[in-house]
Homo-oligomer: A and B are copies of this chain.
Amino acid sequence: MGMLEDLTLDRIRMAADRIASHVVRTPLLCYERDADCELLLKPESLQPTGAFKLRGAINKIATLAEDCPGVVAHSSGNHAQAVAWAAALFDLPAVVVMPNDAPKIKRARTEASGADVVVVGPDSDERSARARQLAHERGWALVEPYDDVEIAAGQGTSALELIEDAGELDRFYAPISGGGLMAGCAVVVSALCPDAEIIGCEPEDAGDTRASLQAGKRCTIPPPMSIADGLRVRRPGEQTWPVIRKRVHRVELVTDDELLDAMAWALHALRLVLEPSGAASLALALREGKGRCGVLLSGGNVDPKHLEEAANRASKLS
């Protein structure tokens, strides 16, 4: 059995019960752009680790065998912090493999939660190989960033809350990296709002899922350079891909410039700090949103230079 069969609404509801007391029930922020477009925004940046990733990490670690001696993860940043935080919650040691180009803030926070950080090159294949090796050597559990049904189920709880608070949607927007968030959310949205269009968002040079949907099979792209460091994977997850192929209606690309503009708009109009990856779905919804649009704001762990640039752009919006 794979994620396509196992990732059910029931499993996501069980994850929601499991994590409820450990995550923030982020509010639904409503913004009427005009008579034709209402944005219904879910700011996962308000989780204690600053991103939705905490949902999946807690759900996964809560379902590990009781005698599990420790956990290993690999991540460009937000999953790293989430696993470190969740491991501490369950009194487990954690080691996290991170790329050397991860934002300093993400590494510092991972270490602050008590995890050991192992630094490798920027390529996502290199870090997953290293994490696998470490898990094998130590006999610790590998907490995958997206290719795991309990991870995807945990991430999907964000869409469950969004729809509980928002009701019927015309569209649902979320960013796609490895696809764990989108797989979980797409199962929820297609079950509860069957008429809603499910739209993924990727940076201009990280459009592996868009290319894969067009080709009808998983494509690998060259290493992306977008400022959206959380969305720089090179191909869809093996497990998440069949779910995304089945449930996501389309994927659109946004430029780094649009990401910075969306971050500025979030500072100004929502009083929220978003990171570039966390503003991707907002950038797209601001460009093309129509009707009642659910928008997943995935994270807020921004590098200072991007925050300063966004604050500067925000000053022109007043």
A residues sitting closer than 8 Å to B (CB atoms) are 24-31, 43, 45-46, 48, 50, 104-105, 108, 267-268, 270-274, 300-305, 307-308, 310-312, 314-315, 318
* Of the residues B29, B273, B312, B315, contact of A271 by C-beta under 8 Å: B273
How many monomers of this protein are in the complex? Answer: 2
* Of the residues B46, B307, B310, B311, contact of A29 by C-beta under 8 Å: B46
User: Roughly how many angstroms separate A267 CA and B306 CA in the complex, as a whole number?
Assistant: 12
Q: By the criterion CB–CB under 8 Å, are A308 and B300 in contact?
A: no
Secondary structure at chain A's binding surface: helix, strand, loop or mixed? mixed
* Of the residues B29, B104, B302, B312, contact of A24 by C-beta under 8 Å: B29
Q: By the criterion CB–CB under 8 Å, are B315 and A305 in contact?
A: yes
Q: By the criterion CB–CB under 8 Å, are A318 and B300 in contact?
A: no
User: Roughly how many angstroms separate A274 CA and B308 CA in the complex, as a whole number?
Assistant: 15
User: Roughly how many angstroms separate A264 CA and B29 CA in the complex, as a whole number?
Assistant: 23
Besides A303-B318, A304-B314, A308-B308, 7 more A-B contacts (Cβ < 8 Å) are A43-B46, A45-B271, A46-B270, A108-B318, A271-B300, A271-B301, A304-B318
A38 CB, nearest partner CB in chain B, Å: 12
User: Roughly how many angstroms separate A69 CA and B217 CA in the complex, as a whole number?
Assistant: 63
A76 CB, nearest partner CB in chain B, Å: 16
Q: By the criterion CB–CB under 8 Å, are B267 and A307 in contact?
A: yes
